[in-house]
Amino acid sequence: MPSKPAPTDAKTVKQVEKLRAELRRHEHLYYVMDAPEVSDAEYDRLMLELKALEAAHPELVTPDSPTQRVGGKPKEGFQKLAHSRPMLSLDNAYNEGELRDWDRRVHELSGSAKVAYVCELKLDGMSLALWYREGALKKGITRGDGSTGEDVTTNVRTIRSIPLSVSSETAKKSKLGGDFEVRGEVIMPIASFTRMNDEREQQGLSKFANPRNAAAGTIRTLEPNVVAQRRLDYFSYFALTPDGTEAFPTHSEALKALTAAGFKVNPNHRYVENIDDVWAFINEWEAKRDKLPYEIDGIVIKVDSIRLQRELGFTGKAPRWAIAYKYAARAGETIIEDILVQVGRTGKLTPVAALKPVFIGGTTVSRATLHNLDEIERLGVKIGDWVVVERGGDVIPKVVRVIDDKKHPRGTKTFRMPAKCPECGGHVVRTEGEADHRCINAACPAKLRESILHFTSRGVMNIEGMGESLVNQLADRGLVKNVADIFDLTEDKLLSLERIGKKSAKNVLDEIEAAKQLPLERVIFGLGIRMVGERTAEFLAEHFGSMDALAAANEEELLQVNEVGPRIAASIREFFEEPANIKLLERLRKAGLNFKGEKKERGTQLAEKTFVITGTLPTYSRDEAKKMIEDAGGRTSGSVSKKTDFVLAGTEAGSKLDKARELGITVIDEAELLKMLKN
Ligand code: IVH
């Protein structure tokens, strides 16, 4: 069935190479340098152009092409692979004394009076080795037991900060050459972690405990598509030759070469000449670590000279030439004095542990989330229990387990979810199949406060200055009864409140004015529609191009939007069917908020045609095919029915294909779809 590929001419070859070079450059700028030059849309356009050319000329596809990040899945789990040399762990120092002892030993054993070190952040992830041959990424291997790891290459390829290839020119310039090994850390940034957990919560899946578990779990999943969506990152810290020896005479030179070759090296490292400067670095980062977008659990200190490293050698499992200074664990033990219930903006009731205050990693913690009733049951927590509480980067403190031993008597009082909302007395319900209890009173004041705080928060309308204290006052005095009231605030109204002067009133009003410039997706996100997070709001804005089109969309139309399933579609419809919300929207429109966005231009090649995609396609992922169909005016659906016009089938297509045959629906393959798109 596939159409015959078009003959390849020199011009096409050139164009393909040009596109690849451009895409690689943009990937490096975006994922490694954090300094993009073009919009995501422009990047996507280049990528689609390259994909189309490669699909028409399959013989031009190379494994290091930027289109080849997501490939087939590893069939039966991962193969075991021996490391070029063991991936060891590090000895730890927990205080200044232990650190200085180590420095003394380094001096004694090496017989050197002067030893220079490199201090690096100890990234809380999972170490990973990358093998490059002739400039191309050949293998990505987990640490495993240190001597043997697992071949997770298919997943590693989806991490955009890992180059799929290093050009011979760059390899030469950086002095890395074409055959080398890189070792470093895979991490999941806190933002990706929270987003992923939010999405998992919405989908009713269990959440990951912390970014390290999430990174380690993700790199070992058997679905490269899933890995690609989870946004992992990779920081390199060793450059080795293929036999596992150091490629450079000093560690700092290795870091420079890795940077020059396009690898991401954590910029927060420092070359120092004595242990006092090491100690200063440790203290600096202890104070700043909460501001990092990823988690660290300490500082790694490495002897800079490789000659000295060799002289110092290894103990059983760790090098003598490096040590990990571990920051005090950000966990503490305390007693649960009570379990309170908080009401969120969607009416969700969250049980919160009221703790006997405990000092954890620089702050006093007196509250910790217990998420929901299922979590309380999973932990087996009772009021009066001793528990371990953990605090991560941006994450709210949480109860991780109950302590059950002789010293810590168990609590006796079982928590019960209230039948009435603790804020308004409204009915509390738990929908079948959902973990959460909710207050269903639309006028619940707690919902109001939370929905305003959500609307004004940084990722949404970004109205700085409208924090908790101001919002509480505005809500209590009835000055703000919904988010539209924010735009009717005046200097006089603000000045009538406590602790607000002329200057801060003006600032708040300026910020409110500025919010009117924000794009449509922020406004959609700000409405606080249940299950519509930041990402879904983006997809909706892009798909419908205006608030009006979104408000008018029926369930079927909503289901065509990326990542919108029946539950989200129903929640959106519910929102726009509520007359109070329609009134609110009209006021927001009058206030001058952005109700128009940029709708993605759609073709008409597939207008009015409904597709069902099934199985694995040879070049495109299902999401990409869906996008291409929709961009061409077609529709996609998840199930085959009489209304289906085409079933797009790849390999391993199952029951949907059978159903299509049964109903006599035309089955096409990827090549045929591409042909239809061209016409
Ligand atoms: S060096 C033999 N550098 O910490 C040298 N490790 O506790 C071992 N880690 O397994 C690795 N950041 O997963 C090194 N800048 C860094 C690191 C780092 C995080 C992890 C790595 C290692 C573990 C040892």
Is the CB–ligand 1 distance for residue 315 below 6 Å? no
Residue type, 10: A
> What pLDDT score was predicted for residue 363?
67
Measured in Å, residue 421 CA sits from the centre of ligand 1 at 48
Are both 528 and 489 inside the same structural domain?
A: no
Asked whether 90 lines ligand 1 (CB < 6 A), one says yes
pLDDT digit string (tens) for 480-535?
A: 988 999 999 999 999 998 888 898 899 999 999 999 999 999 999 999 898 898 87
Assign 1 a pLDDT band (cuts: 50, 70, 90).
very low
**Same domain? 128 vs 230:** yes
Determine the average pLDDT of the residues in 650-663.
Answer: 86
Q: How far does the centroid of ligand 1 lie from the alpha carbon of residue 216, in Å?
A: 14
pLDDT in tens, 461-488: 989 888 888 898 898 888 998 899 999 9
Residue 39 is assigned to a structural domain of this protein:
yes
CATH number of the domain residue 379 falls in: 2.40.50.140
Instruction: Specify whether the backbone of 298 is left (phi greater than 0), alpha (psi in -120 to 50) or beta.
Output: left
**656 and 643 Cβ atoms separated by less than 8 Å:** no
Q: Is 382 noted as a catalytic residue in this protein?
A: no
Ligand 1 center to 235 CA (angstroms): 11
Same-domain pairing of 102 and 240: yes
Query: Where is the domain boundary, 563, 591, 619?
Result: 591
Tell me what pLDDT residue 393 has: 47
Strand partners, 595: none
Ligand 1 contact via 300 beta carbon (within 6 Å): yes
Instruction: For 430-478, give the DSSP string.
Output: --TT-S-EEE--TT-HHHHHHHHHHHHSTTTT--TT--HHHHHHHHHTT
Greatest Cα pair distance in the chain: 83
Residues 99 and 61 in one domain: no
Residues 75-121 have pLDDT tens digits of 567 889 999 999 999 999 989 999 999 999 999 998 988 999 999 99
Per-residue pLDDT reduced to its tens digit, 187-221: 999 888 888 887 776 665 666 777 888 898 899 88
Are 253 and 338 contained in the same domain? no
CA distance 91 to 96: 14
Q: What's the token pair of residue 675?
A: 């042909």
> Are residues 355 and 367 in contact, defined by beta-carbon separation less than 8 angstroms?
yes
120 touches ligand 1 (CB under 6 Å): yes
* Residue of 118, 121, 122 to mutate, ligand 1, most atoms within 8 A of C-beta: 122
Which of 538, 556, 591 is a domain's end point? 591
621 and 486 belong to one structural domain: no
| Same-domain pairing of 551 and 536 | yes
Do residues 640 and 671 share a domain?
Answer: yes
- Ligand 1: atom nearest CA of 87 is 2
Domain with residue 61: its CATH number is: 1.10.287.610
Residues facing 139 on adjacent strands:
131
| Same-domain status, 454 and 506 | yes
Total domain count, the chain: 6
* 114 and 186 inside one domain: yes
What average pLDDT is seen over the chain?
Answer: 89
The yes-or-no verdict on residue 572 having pLDDT over 90 is yes
600 belongs to a structural domain: no
Predicted TM-score of the model (pTM):
0.58
Asked whether 348 lines ligand 1 (CB < 6 A), one says: no
Q: What's the gap in Å between 287 CA and the centre of ligand 1?
A: 21
Co-location of 462 and 505 in the same domain: yes
Q: Is residue 314 situated within a structural domain?
A: yes
pLDDT (mean) for 360-384: 88
Which residue in the block uniquely carries the two structure tokens 């200044």? Answer: 96
Domain limit, last residue, from 464, 494, 515? 515
Residue 20 confidence (pLDDT): 95
Interval between CA 122 and ligand 1 midpoint (Å): 6
Q: Check whether residue 240 and residue 158 sit in a common domain.
A: yes
- Given ligand 1 and candidates 85, 87, 127, 295, which is best to mutate, with the most ligand atoms within 8 Å of its CB? 127
Which protein residue has the closest C-alpha to ligand 1 atom 22?
Answer: 89
Nearest residue (CA) to ligand 1, atom 3:
300
**Does 43 map to a domain?**
yes
3-state helix, strand, coil in the chain (%, to 5): 40, 20, 40
Distances (CA, A) of 533 to 3, 522, 538, 573, 602: 41, 10, 9, 15, 25
Q: Which of 291, 202, 223 has its CA nearest to residue 532?
A: 202
Catalytic-role residue among 51, 73, 80, 122: 122
127 Cα nearest atom in ligand 1: 13
570: containing domain: 520-591
pLDDT at residue 410 in the model: 92
Beta strands at 398-402 and 386-390: parallel, antiparallel or unpaired: antiparallel
Q: What's the half-sphere exposure (Cβ side, CA atoms, 13 Å) at 385? A: 20
- Residue 614 belongs to a domain with what CATH number? 3.40.50.10190
* pLDDT at residue 201 in the model: 64
